[in-house]
Structure 1
Amino acid sequence: MNHADFLRKITGAQANSSGIPGLSRLLMKEINRPVIITDVKGHVLSWHCPPSVALFPEERITLPSTIRDQKEAPSTGIIGLKGRKLKYYCWAIGEVKILGYLLVVGMSEESADDKPQTFYPFAEVASLAMMVEIMHQREMAEREKNYRDEFVRDLIFNNFDGIDEVIRSGKAWGCEFSEVHIVMVIELLNKGKSLETDRLDASLRIEKFLAAEVPGSIVGEMAHFQVVITPLPKEKAEDWHTYIRDLFAKLSPIISEWNCVVGVGKLYESVNMLYRSYQQAKVAIELCKLVQYDCSLAFFDELGAVRLFYNQSEQDLDEFYREVIGPLEKFDRESNGSLLVTLWHYLGSDRDLKRASEKLFIHTNTLRYRLKKIEELLGASLEHEETRFNIYAALKIAAILGKLEQNNNPEIK
């Protein structure tokens, strides 16, 4: 087939909505070589091999650095597939932004491709067609996401005329709102400024994961949060916290390029209470970041008395903080000390001297000295239960107000 005939076939495949697999198959048949299409992270979108080639599909392949750093098309090199080292030719799919890669694979490291340039024009045409197809798919996904976001927004804010309408509308999205549902709010944070991330892609992966794990779930975006509304299986009702923790543990690797903070609202029987659960999940996220500094999953109903502080005025919180542990703040400020952080880790370690010392990178004798100094400044004993309660509450308030640096810096004095 000449170049013009191949171009007509590619155009016909696009007109018939053959998608990436159809385009990949056409190219494979034309050049009689394995053709693999991946996204930018190496997830395989299409995999086609001639009948004579025993190269079995993989879900994801490790892209060599020569592919990610290529300056011109095609890049060439050696790639490992199923333990075999094979020669490849790679074209980046996309112009302004790379959307994926098209790989033509040889039969061995010393490939017998005497004239690989003969299939270059066909691969270039196919890569352009696939760019159009991927962009079209993304536009469709974005459009569907917008509709889904609007439905979730209406659901959260009770923009329906009664429960019957909610149940009827939910069925159109595959949701059964006559059952108990859990509301989770996910905040995705970039791990590094240099990392190129795609929020739409992450949202779609979360949606795909939940559709497989918990059918009837729906994911929408509100502000910069991913809002997840998922049904609670009846057999998990008694220990639903563990169920959500297990679910989150499975989800984390799927969105591993993001730092993820999740807030979970309380469980309510009625769909009319989803809005309340959503608000609680947002509060759980904020308190998780402010107070539980090493936490990535926070349940509103496990935050204890701390959640009562969240809606108090800053002035009232500050007054309570200064009344209880103001002398320690003054000492730290004037002496460049770290009594507040010491107290935080001591109480957070259940008053275990060894654990607290390790977190602070100090000797236990140093910790004992600091605790004695704290008692002297406060005029109270840390052995007194009510004193500890008030101090712990004041420390939580300090974290909320940004007065306490909760870290394990070994240089803290």
Structure 2
Amino acid sequence: MQETASANAYRLLNGLLEKGLPFIAAHLGKKIKHPIVITDVIGRTHYPDEPGSLLQLDDLFVDLPHKMKDEEYYYDATTKSLYLRVGENRATAYIIIRDLDEPMVSQVLTAIDEEAKLAVKYYFFNLEKMRESQSKFKQELVEYLFFKSQINIRDYLKPIYHELQFDKPYLVALMEADEENSSVDWEMMSSYTMNHFKRIGLEIIPVSWNNSMIGIFPTSYKKDTMEVDPDWIKYIVSNGYKFRDIVGRVYGQTVSIAYGQTYRLDELHKSYNEARVAMTLTRLMGKKNFVTQFSEMGVFTCLFSCNLDVLKKFALNTLGRLLDYDQANNTQLLDTLRQLLDNNINLKLTADKLSIHVNTVDYRIKKVEELLNVDFSTIETRVNLYIAIKVWDTLNQTGFTVKGMTESEFEPL
């Protein structure tokens, strides 16, 4: 027989629908007489959280105790805080009671009624469902902007995403975890991203995508000239550093951010590809936990602004004989050359990293000189080879070329 909901449960759920979490918090506050914080599964504060307040992102997160694990509640004597878990999976929430002496824990746990827990659980369950629905649409949006034919993009987007302006430039940012097996929940983080940037006066469309997050920023103009405001880009990048640090603190992992340049919607895939190139190339330089811009990559900005076929031809004309030789003889000439250049021509360090003898490194470099007909002692040769390798590796890792393609298979422009 179906159980009838109590009058208290009805009152709380009705109050939740009309007034939100503050209604539930007020109900609990009257019963337990202690400050209350309500967060989601990763510690993002949902109460107190006044709309439009000037709190920064780091003010919106609470450090949840790792010792709690799967327990229903945990008391932290150091901070005099009680953590009560409600719900499960990504819809999990935490009711946190502050300034609570340990002898009062059992009394407070008893005072938190099941109807209030149900209301909190209902709130976060619906929040998760809404997030899933928005995520699905935003992923479709990204597919049409970056991966599908641009011919009908106006017809597709106009009826369903009215906020996008087709003649306005946009900028794409890409955020990725530095470790492959990352625990970052990008779907949840995308909703926090929008919340954070809205608070500081920046518009953004955040989308979780393939273990990363894409941010689409509408351009801000200078009022006097109607040109893209350079201070706007600086503001976005400076906040990128702050956001990177907060994500790292919440998940205990480092992340990196790369920015493309501004384009209109029908060319926005260029900004996305620029962000991918900036991300990949900076990683190839051995860096982590960085914030970088495609426009600030020096000579590589110029190179990767060229037609990709031109870049492929440059890389293959420079390295093609090495690629062919390594493939035919199962050797590692290119890997050795790459390591040597990355290690500032330090033969001993290169040998140690490759676990080979220094003489072997020297022999391989002489073979490189022979195959490519170059003098490795000149700065011109070293710079040219360094650039060619970075271009080749970036094209491969971003999927713009095929690793198996060698000089003999490449068709000239």
TM-score category (smaller protein): 0.5 to 0.7
Q: CA deviation at 1:203?
A: 1.0
Q: Is the 8 A contact 1:317 1:397 kept in 2?
A: yes
Q: Does 1:21 align with 2:22?
A: yes
Q: Match for residue 266 of structure 1? A: 261
**Structure having the higher Rg:** 1
Q: Match for residue 86 of structure 2? A: 93
Q: Does 1:131 align with 2:121?
A: yes
Does the residue aligned with 2:121 lie in a helix, a strand or coil?
Answer: helix
Distance 1:371 1:24, change over 3 A: same
Runs of at least 5 residues in structure 1 that lack an aligned partner in the other structure? 49-57, 405-413
Amino acid at match of 2:242: K
Equivalent in 249, 254, 266 of residue 246 of structure 2: 254
Q: CA deviation at 1:245?
A: 4.0
- How big is each residue's C-alpha offset from its partner over 1:94-147, in whole Å with a ceiling of 9 and x where there is no partner? 1355522123456324x3567456425x1x321221111112223334445556
Equivalent in 336, 341, 344 of residue 347 of structure 1: 341
Equivalent in 210, 213, 218 of residue 230 of structure 1: 218
Amino acid at match of 2:86: I
Q: Match for residue 381 of structure 1? A: 375
Amino acid at match of 2:12: I
Q: Is the 8 A contact 1:280 1:300 kept in 2?
A: no
Amino acid at match of 2:40: D
Runs of at least 5 residues in structure 2 that lack an aligned partner in the other structure? 50-58, 398-402, 405-413
Aligned counterparts of 2:384 and 2:88: Cα–Cα separation in 1: 60
Distance 1:148 1:377, change over 3 A: closer
Amino acid at match of 1:282: N
Q: Match for residue 53 of structure 2? A: none
Q: CA deviation at 1:370?
A: 3.7
Aligned counterparts of 2:36 and 2:7: Cα–Cα separation in 1: 19
Equivalent in 194, 206, 211 of residue 219 of structure 1: 206
Distance 1:327 1:5, change over 3 A: closer
Q: Does 1:206 align with 2:193?
A: yes
Q: Match for residue 47 of structure 2? A: 46
Amino acid at match of 1:40: V
Distance 1:394 1:61, change over 3 A: closer
Does the residue aligned with 1:392 lie in a helix, a strand or coil?
Answer: helix
Larger relative CO (CA 8 A, sep 6+): 1 or 2?
Answer: 2
Amino acid at match of 2:244: S
Task: Give runs of aligned pairs for residues 14-413 of structure 1, distance below 5 A.
Answer: 14=16, 16-47=17-48, 59-70=60-71, 73=72, 75-81=73-79, 86=80, 88=82, 90-97=83-90, 99-105=92-98, 107-109=100-102, 111-112=103-104, 115-116=107-108, 118-120=110-112, 122=113, 124-144=114-134, 157=150, 159-160=153-154, 173=163, 181-189=169-177, 191=179, 193=181, 196-220=183-207, 226-232=214-220, 234=222, 237=229, 245-256=237-248, 257=251, 260=255, 262-268=257-263, 271=264, 274-282=265-273, 284-286=275-277, 288-289=279-280, 292-293=283-284, 294=286, 297-299=292-294, 302=297, 303=300, 304-305=302-303, 310-311=308-309, 321-323=319-321, 333=330, 340-348=334-342, 352-353=344-345, 370=361, 374-375=365-366, 377-379=368-370, 380-384=374-378, 386-396=380-390, 398-399=392-393, 400-401=395-396
Aligned counterparts of 2:368 and 2:216: Cα–Cα separation in 1: 47
Q: Is the 8 A contact 2:369 2:376 kept in 1?
A: no
Q: CA deviation at 1:210?
A: 2.7
Taking only aligned residues, the RMSD between alpha carbons, in angstroms, comes to 4.7
Q: Is the 8 A contact 2:314 2:388 kept in 1?
A: no
Does the residue aligned with 1:186 lie in a helix, a strand or coil?
Answer: strand
Q: CA deviation at 1:79?
A: 4.4
Distance 1:310 1:241, change over 3 A: farther
Distance 1:69 1:358, change over 3 A: farther
Distance 1:316 1:276, change over 3 A: same
TM-score (norm 2): 0.66
Distance 1:87 1:389, change over 3 A: closer
Q: Match for residue 6 of structure 1? A: 8
**Aligned-pair identity (%):** 17
Distance 1:147 1:306, change over 3 A: closer
Aligned counterparts of 1:280 and 1:118: Cα–Cα separation in 2: 55
Q: CA deviation at 1:220?
A: 4.3
Q: Match for residue 410 of structure 1? A: none
- Residue range with higher mean Cα deviation, 32-41 or 315-324: 315-324
Aligned counterparts of 1:242 and 1:396: Cα–Cα separation in 2: 27
Amino acid at match of 1:203: S
Distance 1:358 1:388, change over 3 A: closer
Across the two proteins, how many residue pairs are aligned to each other? 360
Aligned counterparts of 2:235 and 2:350: Cα–Cα separation in 1: 30
- Residue range with higher mean Cα deviation, 124-133 or 299-308: 299-308
Amino acid at match of 2:369: L
